[in-house]
Amino acid sequence: MIAWLRSLFKGLYRISSVLIFLLLWEIAPRLGIVDAIFLPPFSQVAVAFWQLIITGELFTHISISLLRSLLGFSLGLSVAIPLGLLIGWFKGFEHFIDPLVQTFRQTSTLALFPVFILLFGIGEISKVAVIFWGVQWAVLLNTISGVKNVDPLLIKAAKSLGISKFSLFIKVILPASMPSILTGVRLSATHSILVLIAAEMLGANAGLGYLLFFAEANFLIPKMYAAIITMSLMGLIVNYSLVSLEKRVLKWKEELPSGT
Residue 131: how many other CB atoms lie within 10 Å: 27
Q: Give the pLDDT confidence score for residue 53 in this predicted structure.
A: 92
Residue 27: predicted pLDDT? 92
> What distance in Å separates the CA atoms of residue 183 and residue 81, rounded to the nearest whole number?
12
* pLDDT the model gives residue 251: 67
Closest CA to 189 of 74, 65, 102: 74
The Cα 249–Cα 186 span in angstroms is 13
- Taking a C-beta distance cutoff of 8 angstroms, is the pair 115, 201 a contact? no
Q: Taking 50 as the threshold, does the pLDDT of residue 260 lie above it?
A: no
pLDDT at 259 over 50: no
Q: What was the pLDDT predicted at 114?
A: 81
The answer to whether 135 and 76 have CB atoms below 8 angstroms apart is yes
Residue 5: predicted pLDDT: 67
Decide: helix, strand or coil at residue 83: helix
Show me where the domains of the chain are located. Answer: 56-247
User: Residues 173, 76, 78, 99: is their CA dihedral positive or negative?
Assistant: negative
| Lowest mean pLDDT across 75-89, 143-157, 190-204 | 190-204
- pLDDT band at residue 3 under the 50/70/90 scheme: low
- DSSP code of residue 258: T
For 82-92, b/e burial (b = at least 16 CB within 10 A) is ebbbebbbeee
pLDDT tens figures, 23-38: 998 898 888 888 888 8
pLDDT of residue 70: 86
Average pLDDT, the chain: 82
**Cβ(180)–Cβ(253) below 8 Å:** no
- Reported pTM: 0.76
pLDDT of residue 252: 56
CATH superfamily for domain 56-247 = MetI-like (1.10.3720.10)
pLDDT reported for residue 32: 85
Mean pLDDT across the stretch 208-223? 88
Q: Which of 25-39, 126-140, 195-209 has the lowest mean pLDDT?
A: 195-209
